[in-house]
Amino acid sequence: MIIMTYNPYSLEGKTVLVTGASSGIGQSTAIECSKMGASVILTGRNEERLSLTLEKLEGTGHSMIVANLDDETEIEKIVEMASQLNGCVCNAGIGLGTKPAVFYKKKELEQIFTTNTISSILLLKGLVKRKKLINPSSVVFTSSIEGNAITTIGNGMYGMSKAALTAYAKTVALELAPKGIRCNVVTPGMVKTPLTAPTGELTQEQLDADAAKYPLGRYGNPQDIAWGIIYLLSDAACWITGTVLKIDGGITLV
């Protein structure tokens, strides 16, 4: 009997940092990375929820760093505490609900760009300057189809913050290529996470009707995005940098 052990998507022997790991896509990515053999460093601002993620990881050698990425000194703490990394998933993000452009407030713009864009920029800056990312290594940014492939009324602040992150990722991919650091982006469609749960703005019935518009008949699950991220972290993607992987159930086709 032949036992197949070849797996170019394996993360065995790799150490991966995942931001925003306490829930949603970040939590699922951390769990799936551990299943693929990685040692995972979790970071997020909620210690209790981060601890619950840590308990769900398979294998050994995992750790967590409680930190608020909106605070530059906390970013420096993550950089200081992180070990040598084979991969980094910049996933932390927020949404502030929908609002027409004429009602944007400076404080809200600063808040969403700080979390969704600037925090990842400063984190990667610190990791590179402190030589925490080995050669070769992989960085994956979680962006969105919003602002990159589509736009919807009232969702401009979120879309702008994600589009800016995508633009940055392409530039830094070019700049860091000589160091062997690959930088890529995933742009999910609507994914079932706490961020997209029914609120006062949208009922479950409205969400169900919207999900029915997707050619594949549903919203995404966090694992759908995690598996795409794992591909970009793995050696299977060793000749891919500066690319945008759209994972959207086909919604941008309609």
Which residues are part of the catalytic machinery?
Answer: 158
- Residue 191: which of 10, 27, 18, 55 has the closest Cα? 27
The two tokens of residue 212 are 């029915």
* Separation CA 111–CA 94 (nearest Å): 9
Q: CB-based burial of residue 8 (10 Å sphere; 0-12 exposed, 13-18 middle, 19+ buried)?
A: exposed
* Separation CA 164–CA 179 (nearest Å): 23
Cβ–Cβ under 8 Å, residues 163 and 116:
no
- Residue 118: which of 168, 80, 46, 45 has the closest Cα? 168
Cβ–Cβ under 8 Å, residues 184 and 237:
yes
Tokens 């797996």, residue located: 7
* Separation CA 248–CA 169 (nearest Å): 19
Contact residues for 141 (Cβ-Cβ < 8 A; gap 6+)? 90, 91, 120, 165, 166, 169, 183, 184, 185, 186
- With H, G, I as helix, E, B as strand and everything else as coil, classify residue 137: strand
Cβ–Cβ under 8 Å, residues 211 and 190:
yes
